Amino acid sequence: MFKAQVFRRGFSIWRRRVPESQIIRSAIRDGHETIQIQRVRINTPLISRSRMIGTVVTTIGTYQFLRWLDDDEEEEKTDTQVGRHRQGGAQVNTWQQVTADTTFEEDEEDDDVLLFLPTGLSRPKPREYYKGSDPEWQGFLEVSRNPERVRQIRRDFTRTVRGEVARDTQYKRLLGDIEQNKGNVWIDVVFPDGPPLEYERPGIEITDNLEIRRSLQPVQHIHHHQLRNTLMPIAAANAAYMDIKRRFWVAWIKVRRSLGYPVKLDVSDFAYRHALIISQPTASPSPRTTSQVPQHEPTGQSSTLSSTFQQEPQGTSDPSKSILARYAPKLRIDRDMVISGKLFRSIMEQAHSQQQEPPPRGNIILTGMVEVVGSRATITYNVIGHYDVKTGEFQNVKYFHRLARSRKQSPRGGP
């Protein structure tokens, strides 16, 4: 029934429209028969044999290619280390000179890189340790052999932490007037075994001469952790969970009050007051003017009309804003659905501040507990910081709330 010419004419994807003269000649040749062409669509399954084979072949090929890149890099590092161990005496100096020249040439080549295509995520470099002849280790020895300097470092670090707490408005309202010379202190001095861990990212770079080569790009510590936090947003999930928990607790209190059950909030609890201060917004809303407050509250339909009239924004002369306000969909966002920015930000800052940064090269780690005494309360903080031996300055000083106690405590069970 189906002719070859008619079949091509009906299912051709390259010639969508056939000339009428060709259709007439075809009809005369076929005897003016009526031919019905039933169009069908063949649905291929999502998981087919060809797709599975193609996916497996592509995955294995990509894995072997990346593994080949990593193996070549490890072989180059191994050959370099073997060459360094085999050299001795004057040959070591020659090897160092050749290595320095090679490094200089590599730096010149790196300046001509046009494009870097990463082939994987950042990863830590092999761990390095201080040697006895390193100047950083010699500085550590000088500090450890001078007990008076160690005690002075602890006193200065304690004074720095208490000064930072005194300038923090969040804890200043809770503590009151802070006494700098009161409170217990426990500070440990830790000498790191090596410089901070470095990170690198493998990839392929393209030079000015259109040369494609494999290389490793250094990655900063903060960028590595930012990427990790982006791929695994634990802090954001925890902040969202705490906000949902707070909303559920407020809704539960409202339900109990609507049903007539007694709701008792222990405002005298010190932990409750501390949480209330943290969740309190920093800026108070602007007071309402006399034009915004109606002198006589209308009733019935007039109140609805007046409230509607007051809530309507005034028209602007900008035509783009009027067009946008006319055609754009109006989204009604309930105030209860908005996440508390103060609470969310405080949880995020607490999560990120607890990430201990590695000490810079030649720095000492100071960690322990510092008690801050105020006129209203006493708070114990877990503290950590770094001390530069050469400059004598403190870096990355952080403090975390550990325990809070009120100066005046009354029996909660009654007299």
The encoded tokens of residue 406 equal 């009120």
The encoded tokens of residue 164 equal 């930072």
Longest dimension (CA), the chain: 115
**pLDDT computed for residue 248 by the predictor:** 81
Sorted by sequence, the CB contacts under 8 Å of residue 297 that are 6+ apart come out as 303
Helices 20-29 and 4-11: crossing angle in degrees, nearest 10, is: 150
**pLDDT computed for residue 11 by the predictor:** 46
Task: Give the Cα separation of 397 and 361 in Å (integer).
Answer: 16
Alpha carbon separation from 6 to 15, 17, 42 (Å, rounded):
13, 13, 20
Buried b vs exposed e over 135-166: b needs ≥16 C-beta within 10 Å?
A: ebbebbeebeeeeeeeeebbeebbebbbebbb
The encoded tokens of residue 57 equal 């072949």
Task: Give the Cα separation of 61 and 65 in Å (integer).
Answer: 6
**pLDDT computed for residue 293 by the predictor:** 38
- 375 and 176 Cβ atoms separated by less than 8 Å: yes
Task: Give the Cα separation of 366 and 382 in Å (integer).
Answer: 11
- What sign results for the dihedral spanned by CA atoms 309, 313, 318, 324? negative
Q: Which residue has the tokens 């990427």?
A: 227
Which SS3 state, helix, strand or coil, does residue 364 take? strand
**pLDDT computed for residue 337 by the predictor:** 52
- List, in sequence order, every residue forming a beta bridge with 398; answer none if it has no partner: 384
Alpha carbon separation from 374 to 4, 122, 162, 247, 379 (Å, rounded):
97, 46, 11, 33, 8
Q: Which regions of 143-210 does DSSP assign to beta strands (E)? A: 178-179, 185-190, 199-207
Sorted by sequence, the CB contacts under 8 Å of residue 53 that are 6+ apart come out as none
The encoded tokens of residue 132 equal 């006895």
**pLDDT computed for residue 98 by the predictor:** 39
Q: How many CA atoms lie less than 13 Å away from 346 in the CB half-sphere?
A: 20
Per-residue pLDDT of the chain (415 residues; tens, 9 = 90+): 444 444 444 444 445 566 777 777 777 776 666 666 667 777 777 778 888 888 888 888 888 777 776 665 555 555 555 444 444 443 334 334 434 444 444 545 445 777 788 887 888 888 889 998 999 999 999 999 999 999 999 999 999 999 999 888 888 888 888 888 888 999 999 999 988 888 888 888 888 777 888 888 888 877 777 777 777 777 778 778 877 887 787 788 888 888 888 766 654 444 444 444 444 444 444 443 333 434 444 444 434 334 433 444 444 455 545 555 555 555 454 555 556 666 667 766 666 666 677 888 889 999 999 999 998 899 999 999 999 998 889 998 988 888 888 888 788 777 7
- 214 and 106 Cβ atoms separated by less than 8 Å: no
Per-residue DSSP letter, 215: E
- Classify burial at 42, counting beta carbons within 10 Å of its beta carbon; exposed 0-12, middle 13-18, buried 19 or more: exposed
Helix residue ranges, H only, 87-146: 90-110, 135-144
**pLDDT computed for residue 197 by the predictor:** 86
- 347 and 235 Cβ atoms separated by less than 8 Å: yes
Task: Give the Cα separation of 63 and 120 in Å (integer).
Answer: 11
- 364 and 188 Cβ atoms separated by less than 8 Å: no
